[in-house]
Amino acid sequence: MENKELICVNCPMGCRITVTLDEGRVIDIKGYTCEKGKNYAAQETVRPMRVLTSTVRINGALARVLPVITSQEIPLDMMEEAMEAVRMLTVDAPVRVNQVLIPHFLGTDADLVASRSMKKI
């Protein structure tokens, strides 16, 4: 059995949450004040998940790069691999916001999507 302490980042309250793990499995969570905090703490101690935002090259737009975002969180431990895939990608204008650029990004449930529209110039 092992206790992990973390501070919830969902809201300004910053609750100090203690998660008790037994061989990597969550068996108790204490100190949270809402469901969101409880879920965050459970996920965070097992495998932290994050939304990735970055940019990819774009041809034919006003800017040189297009901001992109994962449509949902992906594992934090996959960020390096994710950035390699992002660096390889070049898109052509026009692009619509939320347009899928890479579906099932790295085999996860998330898509890599454009996080704004860009006109062709």
Partner 1 sequence: MRNYQAVIIGGGSAGLAAAVTLKQKGIEDILVLEKDGEAGGILNQCIHNGFGLQTFKEQLSGPAYAERFEDQAEQLNVEIKLNTMVTGLNAQRQITYVNPDEGYVTISADAVILAVGCYERSRGAVEIPGERPSGIYTAGQAQRYLNIDGYLVGKKVFILGSGDIGLIMARRMTLEGAKVYGVAELMPYSNGLPRNMKQCLEDFGIPLYLSHTVTKIYGHDRLEGIDIAKVGPDRKPVPGSEIHFDVDTLLLSVGLIPENHLGDEAGIEMDPRTRGPVVDESYMTGIRGIFACGNGLHVHDLVDFVSLQAARAAEGAARYIREGEPEGRTVNTAAGENVLYVVPGKIHTDNVPGHTEFFFRVRKPMDDAVLTVRAGSKVIRTVRKKKLIPSEMERLLLTQKQLTGLEGDLVIEVREN
Nearer to partner 1 among residue 48 and residue 60 (C-beta): 48
Residue selected from 2, 3, 5, 9 as contacting partner 1 according to rule CB under 8 A: 9
Q: By CB under 8 A, tell whether 100 contacts partner 1.
A: no
Residue 90: burial class (beta carbons within 10 Å; 0-12, 13-18, 19+): exposed
Q: By CB under 8 A, tell whether 57 contacts partner 1.
A: yes
Given a contact cutoff of 8 angstroms between Cβ atoms, the answer to whether 116 and 61 are in contact is no
Nearer to partner 1 among residue 7 and residue 27 (C-beta): 7
Side-chain half-sphere of 32: how many Cα atoms within 13 Å? 18
Q: By CB under 8 A, tell whether 34 contacts partner 1.
A: no
Cβ atoms within 10 A of the Cβ of 40, count?
21
Q: By CB under 8 A, tell whether 88 contacts partner 1.
A: no
Q: By CB under 8 A, tell whether 12 contacts partner 1.
A: yes
Q: What is d(CA 74, CA 38) in angstroms, rounded to the nearest whole number? A: 19
CA quadruple 56, 57, 59, 63: dihedral sign: positive
Q: By CB under 8 A, tell whether 13 contacts partner 1.
A: yes
Q: By CB under 8 A, tell whether 16 contacts partner 1.
A: no
Give the interface with partner 1 as residue ranges (CB under 8 A): 7, 9-10, 12-14, 48, 50-55, 57, 62-65, 67, 69, 76, 79, 83, 97-98, 115-117
